[in-house]
Structure 1
Amino acid sequence: MTQSNPAVWPTLQAHDAPALIDYLVEVFGFVVGARYGDGDRVDHAQLNWPEGTGGLMMGSYKPGTDWCREPGSAGAYIVTADVDALYARVQDHNADITRPLGSTDYGSREFAVRDPEGNLWSFGTYAGEPRQS
């Protein structure tokens, strides 16, 4: 099955979803694909990664609902073609860098950041191993 749209969407919730959306757009470069809700409430937001078909979905923290997750407990790895430029951008925004840019033993250049809600974001050049038929 060939698919042109992403089929895997990491999801997270935030205490201050509008502020986190602004942060992810300004600091990391995500692009808002959709946003629904009124005022400070975000019922659903789609943030697209500009370098490919991936993205994430997020919304405001809603305790007691069947799809509730504790804000600040998510983690994601995002592939970027220009990790050096993204690292410079993150540094320019004084982001909370938890692992500085460096090379790994599996051939990637990566760094990690904690967002204002506490989620961990790792950015690197490792695009995964080729799929086996």
Structure 2
Amino acid sequence: MTREPAPQVWPSLRARDARTLIRFLVEAFGFEETVVYGDEERVHHAQLAWPPGGGVMLGSAREPGADDPWPLRPGAFGAYVVTDEPDALYGRAVAAGAEVVAAPHDTDYGSRDFTVRDPEGNLWAFGTYRGEPRKA
């Protein structure tokens, strides 16, 4: 039995209110909080797992002008996440307050997709398309 390698690419984002964003991503989409390091409202590093595999990392944005080795602008992130249940996940996301960008629809490449925006303004597309197989 061959086993898939552990994720080695971690999409990362910054948030104005990282703790609120973490709660939203868990409630709206079903990410699982793996670890959150920080103090009070500031998050220095958080890792959220996507149950089928992979995940994202995030942290609090620094104040303008602060020395920032990772100066990502909050709200400028976008991701496509694979799910087997896009319609159910769409309902969950909308119930949690996600802003609808594109309701569930079938694509010309055989996927069932939808796109929403989180409270920070990041775009999240979910769908059944798993990408093309890797070349041998």
Q: TM-score range by the shorter chain?
A: over 0.9
- Distance (Å, rounded) in 2 between the aligned partners of 1:125 and 1:3: 19
Q: Which residue in 1 is equivalent to 2:53?
A: 53
Q: Which residue in 2 is equivalent to 1:73?
A: 76
- Distance (Å, rounded) in 1 between the aligned partners of 2:97 and 2:61: 26
How many residues are matched? 131
Q: Is the 8 A contact 2:13 2:72 kept in 1?
A: yes
| Deviation at residue 67 of structure 1 after TM alignment | 0.9
The 3-state SS of whatever aligns with 2:43 is coil
- Distance (Å, rounded) in 1 between the aligned partners of 2:36 and 2:95: 27
Q: Percent identity?
A: 53
- Distance (Å, rounded) in 1 between the aligned partners of 2:76 and 2:111: 24
Q: Which runs of 4+ in 1 moved over 6 A?
A: none
- Distance (Å, rounded) in 2 between the aligned partners of 1:5 and 1:34: 17
Q: Is the 8 A contact 2:11 2:56 kept in 1?
A: yes
**Which segment is superposed worse, 55-64 or 101-110?**
55-64
- TM-score, L = length of structure 2: 0.92
| Deviation at residue 42 of structure 1 after TM alignment | 0.2
Q: Give the CA RMSD over aligned residues.
A: 1.2
One-letter code of the match for 1:123?
F
| Deviation at residue 5 of structure 1 after TM alignment | 1.6
The 3-state SS of whatever aligns with 2:125 is strand
Q: Gaps spanning 5+ residues in structure 2: where?
A: none
Q: Which residue in 2 is equivalent to 1:43?
A: 44
- The reply on whether 1:110 has 2:110 as its aligned counterpart is no
Which of 102, 106, 112 pairs up with 1:99? 102
- Distance (Å, rounded) in 1 between the aligned partners of 2:16 and 2:23: 13
- Distance (Å, rounded) in 2 between the aligned partners of 1:15 and 1:90: 20
- Distance (Å, rounded) in 2 between the aligned partners of 1:80 and 1:107: 14
- Distance (Å, rounded) in 2 between the aligned partners of 1:93 and 1:115: 10
Q: Is the 8 A contact 2:24 2:96 kept in 1?
A: no
Q: Gaps spanning 5+ residues in structure 1: where?
A: none
